[in-house]
C-alpha cells in the first residue's frame, strides 16, 4: 500500500511593521518520505520553499 509523509518547519520574519501594513517572509524546509506501490521503494526528498504574506488595515 502506498503512503507519504511530509514534515516541515521554518521561521516567520517580519520585514515591515507599520500601522497600516505588516509584511512577513518565511523560508521553509520540507522533508518528504514516500513509498510507491509499484516498485515498493522508499524515497526520501528534501525541499526548500519560501512565502511572502502581508496584512493591510
Q: Is the pTM of this model over 0.75?
A: no
Q: What is the per-residue pLDDT for 16?
A: 95
Residue 54 CB partners (closer than 8 Å, separation 6+) = 16, 21, 22, 23, 24
Compute and round to an integer the Cα radius of gyration of the chain.
17
Q: What is the per-residue pLDDT for 1?
A: 60
pLDDT in tens, the chain (57 residues): 678 899 999 999 999 999 999 999 999 999 999 988 777 788 999 999 999 999 998
How many structural domains comprise the chain?
Answer: 1
Supply the range of the domain harboring residue 46. 3-56
Amino acid at each position: 500500500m502506498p503512503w507519504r509523509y511530509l514534515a516541515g518547519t521554518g521561521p516567520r520574519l517580519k520585514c515591515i511593521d507599520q500601522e497600516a501594513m505588516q509584511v512577513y517572509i518565511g523560508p521553509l524546509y520540507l522533508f518528504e518520505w514516500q513509498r510507491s506501490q509499484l516498485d515498493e521503494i522508499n524515497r526520501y526528498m528534501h525541499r526548500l520553499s519560501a512565502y511572502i504574506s502581508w496584512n493591510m488595515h
